Structure 1
Amino acid sequence: MDTIALAATLLFTHGQTTERTIVAAERLGGALGVPVRVLPYWGELTVEIHGTQVSRIVPVKPLGVDMGKVLAITTVVDEVCSGTLRAEAARSALASAGRFPPASTLRFALFAAVGALSLGVIFGASEVTSLLLMALSAAIGALVRRWLSGVSGNPLIQPLSAGAIAGAVAAVASRLHLSDGIALVAFCPCMVLVPGPHLLNGAIDLARTRIALGIARLVYAGLIVLMICAGQLIGLIVGGAPLPAAGPSAPVPLIADVIAAGGAVAAFGTFFSMPWRQLPFPIAAGMLAHAARWALISFAGANVATGAFVACVLVSVIVTPVVDRWHLPFAAVAFSAVVSMMPGFFLFHAARAVVELVSIGPSAPATLLTTIAADGATAFLVIMAMTFGLILPRMLFERFLPAPT
């Protein structure tokens, strides 16, 4: 029971989908001769033996995403189930897998810079100075996040601090007139903090009627987004700069868009500690999805929500059978491939309008309310389109083509 509970806890903690966590734990229980049922909740996970009142309740919160650890843990489960690892050695092997190191700090900071720079290109930034400021801001934020992870167990401090650094760098750049794209300098380093896997895992749990767990995951993701926004505003205020106006996104050539998408995917794969040998797959999927989205919008006249939906469906169809074969967390791999499609411009523009509305007060023009409603609704529709585009094929695969065991 302790061994099974440990495996389920480690998978649940490090970002594996709830369904695959349950399947892996039940497979391990079958191999150990203990038929179990796993009941996951936010804050605890219960493992009980079928037909008895014997159970283990383990306190756990699914706060992290670490594909390297999930892969190592699932490998141990497979070895026990196939008989290549003795049951007596399973617990120590699982404990060792749970200590699998994350991506190195150097790689983490380097790819944070690459991710912010790539997102800047996708959102239309062309100035070399702006791109360098984004990369510098994201790299400093990554180093601070790594340091905070070692001194504090609160997961909300990291996005708050990194957002504040992005706002402060943008404020300094604005005061020194270093760039014309201050809005993107403030925004792109914050985009690398978006908690996409938690959003997707929450949506999948809701679709499977695990209502309480799904809502808890979404609330946690929402708190992270709130911390990012608050940190950015704090950084801008401390730096003495107003919230910069976000102009319309400049059109980006196909080649630049696709290459930048590959850079963004590589960055998020690093954030989620994906092993080097498996990184090319989500990069290829993300680049293909971006090419499809670019073609739909440029040639077929599709809107951004439709383009994002089709691209996410394509990614989900490609990614689902592979992550099941490799035993990787679907949410982390899928979100890595489509993160650059998040409606950043609309979210930023709506946030700026809200701040302006608060500062003006009752005399604010009606057009400001229209801007908030239009940009907020567009952002909501794009996020919903991306979520459904990713989880619907996943659910259909699980229904009609069960994952290999």
Structure 2
Amino acid sequence: MTGISGNEAAAPGRAKADDALALVRQVVTLLFENGQTTARTVEAAERIGKALRQDVRVLPRWGELAIEIEGSGRLDLTEAQPAGVDMNRVARCMAMVDDIAGGRIDVAAARSSLIAIAHQPPASTPRFAVMAAAGAAALAVIFGETQLLSLALIALSTGMGALLRRGLARMSHNLFVQPLCAALLAGIIGAVAERLQLSSALHLVTVCPCMILVPGPHLLNGALDLARGRIPLGLARFTYAGLIILMICAGLLAGLALGGETLDVQSASVAVPFIWDLIAAGIAVSAFGSFFSMPWRTLPVPILIGMLAHACRWLLIAKAGAGVAPAAFVACLLVGILVTPIADRLRVPFAAFGFASVVSLMPGVFLFRMAGGLVDFVALGSRAPADLLAGIIADGGTALLILLAMAFGLIVPKFFIERVWPG
């Protein structure tokens, strides 16, 4: 009788491990690079491994994914940067994971489908530009701007910035060129508008187009990683988001300086009627859903949740006399309770879905006013008035408190719900 050598006997096992490794590599790279939470990305890899009867372990880091098939000696290092957000790709990939785990599709067909998903284009340029313009104008309404000329200037500036970003994306893969140049354009347009006295709300004409650039999903994903003990990855996400915010501030202030203007740190928001506030919040949510390539059929869900959250915040501030940070916490707590199960049901990334729903609560105005105040403070030196420093501290403290309130409001219900309802 002819025996089978050890190498021949091991060959089928090696081939199966290689197939599993290649499939897992495609899935986790696609999810990691398009905004899925780290926990769901790792869980997807483990589900695929279980379906293929392989023990899969994934160690994500900024810029790299380490994938190991335990017991096979297979370790794969794949370059991957979690710098993008595409909800449609994530939803389709998670649906593919369900099919693989349920045995409804084989490895070859799954890999072919994943290649098609990875090459699916984001939201079209016209949709991107139009929704950016509408979202920035809606944020201006929330902050009290009602003049049609000012809203038109904000929409024009933001739409031009969106087109500029798409053009730069084709020419450069640098992560910071797009927000820097878009903010620079917003600052120049705002300075020209002030010089020509086209608007009395310079701070909104310049700030609202920049608020569209704030990397909220990366901040939220970073907070989730820190809360789960993934310290290096969480800090890396925060660093990336912080650098983008720094580029936005630098571009905005440089654009204003080119036009001989500065950002007024004393400007304050004006209360708007409840119905206008509610409609504007819904438009802002739809805009950010479009930025993140959310499918049209699912877009009404975050719009309704965002409008409900903003109504809650408006009532707490206007009727109950609550501060902006406590009101943001309660609104985000409501969003976290609603979004956690819905995001899993729709297979979309929690951070992008949750941020789109609460984008109107972001303290972008406070952050940019603080940056403008710091520049003025440095320029004036010892001649700076005491109220300028007080304004800088107040804006910075308010922005920090709102960000913390939003992060805790979104994360706490997510952790609790996943604890008692892991499915």
Under a length normalisation based on structure 2, what TM-score does the superposition of the two structures give?
0.93
Q: How far off is 1:292 after superposition? A: 0.5
CA offset at residue 239 of structure 1? 2.3
User: Partner residue of 2:350?
Assistant: 330
Alignment of 1:115-130 (within 5 A): 115-130=135-150
- What's the offset of the Cα at 1:363? 2.2
**Residue equivalent to 2:341:** 321
Secondary structure in 1 aligned to 2:151? helix
Distance 1:226 1:348 in 2: 10
Counterpart of 1:360 in structure 2 is: 380
257, 276, 297: which is aligned to 2:277?
A: 257
State the secondary structure of the residue aligned to 1:289: helix
* Match of residue 76, structure 2, among 39, 56, 64: 56
Which residue is equivalent to 1:36?
56
Tell me which moved more, 47-56 or 19-28. Answer: 47-56
Distance 1:248 1:242 in 2: 16
SS in structure 2 of the partner of residue 242 of structure 1: coil
Q: What is the CA–CA distance in structure 2 between the aligned matches of 1:157 and 1:14, rounded to whole Å?
A: 19
Matching residue of 2:316: 296
Structure 2 unpaired stretches of 5+: 1-20
Task: Work out whether 1:6 is the aligned partner of 2:26.
Answer: yes
Q: Which deviations, in whole Å up to 9, do the C-alpha atoms of 1:12-34 show, x marking residues without a partner?
A: 00000000001111111111222
1:241 positional shift: 2.3
- Residue 347 of structure 1 corresponds to 367
Task: Report the 3-state secondary structure (helix = DSSP H, G, I; strand = E; otherwise coil) of the residue aligned with 1:55.
Answer: strand
1:47 maps to what in 2? 67
Q: 1:223 aligns with which of 220, 243, 262?
A: 243
My pick for the range that moved more, 258-267 or 29-38, is 29-38
Q: Per-residue deviation at 1:246?
A: 4.6
Q: Who is 1:133 aligned against? A: 153
Q: Measure, in 2, the Cα distance between the counterparts of 1:389 and 1:401.
A: 18
5 Å matches for 1:6-405? 6-403=26-423
Partner Cα separation in structure 1 for residue 24 and residue 398 of structure 2: 44
Distance, in Å, in 2 between the alignment partners of 1:361 and 1:187 is 25
Quick one: percent identity of the two aligned structures?
A: 55
CA distance in 2, matches of 1:68, 1:302: 37
- Aligned partner of residue 68 in structure 2, secondary structure: strand
- Tell me, yes or no, if the aligned pair for 1:347 and 1:376 is still in contact at 8 Å: yes
Give the secondary structure class of the aligned counterpart of 2:95: helix
Any idea what SS the aligned residue of 1:243 has?
coil
Amino acid at match of 1:274: M
Contact 1:114 1:267 in 2 (8 A): yes
Could you tell me how far 1:238 is from its partner in structure 2?
1.8
Q: Measure, in 2, the Cα distance between the counterparts of 1:78 and 1:86.
A: 12
**8 A contact 2:63–2:80 mirrored in 1:** yes
Asked whether the 8 Å contact 1:69–1:99 carries over to 2, the reply is: no
**Whole-angstrom distance in 2 between the partners of 1:246 and 1:341:** 20
Distance in 2, matches of 1:88 and 1:270, equals: 32
2:89–2:118 Cα contact (<8 Å) kept: yes
Count of paired positions: 403
Aligned-residue Cα RMSD (Å) equals 1.1
Measure the CA separation in 2 of the matches of 1:344 and 1:43. Answer: 28
2 CA distance for matches of 1:303 and 1:242?
28
Q: Distance in 2 between matches of 1:241 and 1:367?
A: 20
Aligned-residue offset at 1:398? 1.8
- Inter-partner Cα distance in structure 1 for 2:84 and 2:368: 26
Whole-angstrom distance in 2 between the partners of 1:345 and 1:157 = 22
Q: Is the 8 A contact 1:249 1:345 kept in 2?
A: no
Cα distance in structure 2, aligned partners of 1:275 and 1:13? 18
Moved segments of 4+, more than 4 Å: none
Distance 1:33 1:326 in 2: 27
Give the Cα–Cα distance (whole angstroms) in 1 for the partners of residues 231 and 155 of structure 2.
Answer: 39
Structure 1, residues 230-287: CA drift from partner, whole Å, max 9, x if none? 1111211222323345522111111011100000000000000000000000000000
Greater displacement, 273-282 / 51-60:
51-60
Contact 1:9–1:60, Cα closer than 8 Å, also in 2: yes
Q: Secondary structure at the match of 1:40?
A: strand
